Amino acid sequence: MCFDLDSAPPIPPISGAAVSHDDLVLEAADGNRFAAFVASPDDGARVGVVILPDVRGLYRFYEELALRFAERGYAAVAFDYFGRTAGAEKRDDDFEYMPHVQQTTPDGVQADVAACAAHLRAAGCTSIFTVGFCFGGRNAWLAAASGHDLAGAIGFYGDRRNERRSSRRRSSVSWVATIPGSRSRMRRRSTRPSPLRGSSTRS
Query: Residue 132 in contact with residue 142, Cβ under 8 Å?
Result: no
**pLDDT tens across 153-200, in order?**
999 887 655 443 333 333 333 344 444 443 444 444 443 433 333 333
Q: Where are the alpha helices (DSSP H) in the chain?
A: 60-71, 83-86, 98-101, 106-122, 135-143
Spatial CB neighbours of 184, under 8 Å, sequence gap ≥ 6: 144, 145, 146, 148, 149, 150, 153, 177, 178
Beta bridge partners of 33: 27
**pLDDT tens across 90-112, in order?**
888 899 999 999 999 999 999 99
Identify the structural domains of the chain with CATH numbers, from first to last: 19-160 (3.40.50.1820)
Q: What is the DSSP string of 123-134?
A: TT--EEEEEEEE
**Three-point CA angle 153, 157, 159, nearest 5°:** 105
Mean pLDDT, residues 29-47 taken together: 97
